[in-house]
Amino acid sequence: MSNPILKMLMGNSQKSSLNAIGNIIKNSNNPMAMMDSMFGNNPNYQEMKKFIDQNGGNVEQAFYSACSQKGVDANEILEKAKNFKL
């Protein structure tokens, strides 16, 4: 397996895998470049990046805009995410 991220994650639980990915991104000098290298070929990721770009590169604004378009309460989602446990 040539992908160092996958090598690091092999054998870890889902929670520790997610934590490991979060730490890699957080400790990266360029988080968007790290995300591009991890998910660049995923069409859903490309769509998300395009939507963020359409919102001036502001991720928070893009999130609230997407919620508004879908008729979803953004604050409710954020509250649920805050209380999420794996």
Residues 33 and 8 in one domain: yes
Determine contact, residues 31/25, Cβ cutoff 8 Å. Answer: yes
pLDDT of residue 10: 55
Q: Are residues 23 and 58 in the same domain?
A: no
Domain of residue 49 covers 42-86
Tell whether 31 and 60 lie within a shared domain: no
**Are residues 33 and 53 located together in one domain of the fold?**
no
Instruction: Please count the structural domains in the chain.
Output: 2
CB 35 within 8 A of CB 45: yes
pLDDT in tens, 19-32: 777 777 777 777 77
Question: What pLDDT was estimated at residue 73?
Answer: 95
Q: List C-alpha distances in Å: 14 to 7, 55, 80.
A: 14, 32, 19
Q: List pLDDT tens digits, range 28-85.
A: 777 777 778 778 788 888 888 898 899 998 889 999 999 999 999 999 999 988 887 7
Q: Are residues 18 and 48 in the same domain?
A: no
